[in-house]
Amino acid sequence: MEFVIYHNPRCSKSRQTLSLLESKRVQTRVELYLENPLSERKIKILLEKLDIHARDLIRKNEEEFKKSGLTLSSNEQALISVMAKNPKIIERPIVVRGDRAIIGRPPENVLELIENED
């Protein structure tokens, strides 16, 4: 089963996670989510696969989030909408395999997806 990494090449953790996937020789499709922003629907699907709330996927210290006027206690749909409009505020990297996903912070988190390969 293919792995997908939502990747920001300027982020050291994202680069380290991609490198780890490559070193484990898993087939990985790279999605550059800053160049091709995620739709609200796609963000909802990722949240389900991650089994987290929208607030847990937001980089709260990013200027774009601060300027949005929202807080981490804002409603789920508002947070999803702001992530779709400002992909830079999405925590990274996200690695997906099938119906599961993990945030690669630290990069070693993705080993759980690799080790549990069916």
Which domains, and CATH codes, for the chain?
Answer: 3-115 (3.40.30.10)
What does the chain come to in residues? Answer: 118
Q: Are the C-beta atoms of residues 3 and 29 closer than 8 Å to each other?
A: yes
Vertex 48: Cα angle to 86 and 81 (nearest 5) = 25
Q: Which two tokens stand for residue 50?
A: 């991650």
- pTM passes above 0.85: yes
The count of other CB atoms within 10 Å of the CB of residue 99 is 9
Mean per-residue pLDDT pooled into runs of 10, the chain (118 residues): 95 97 96 98 98 98 97 98 98 97 96 80
Q: Which of 4, 11, 30, 45 is catalytic?
A: 11
Question: Catalytic residue at 108?
Answer: no
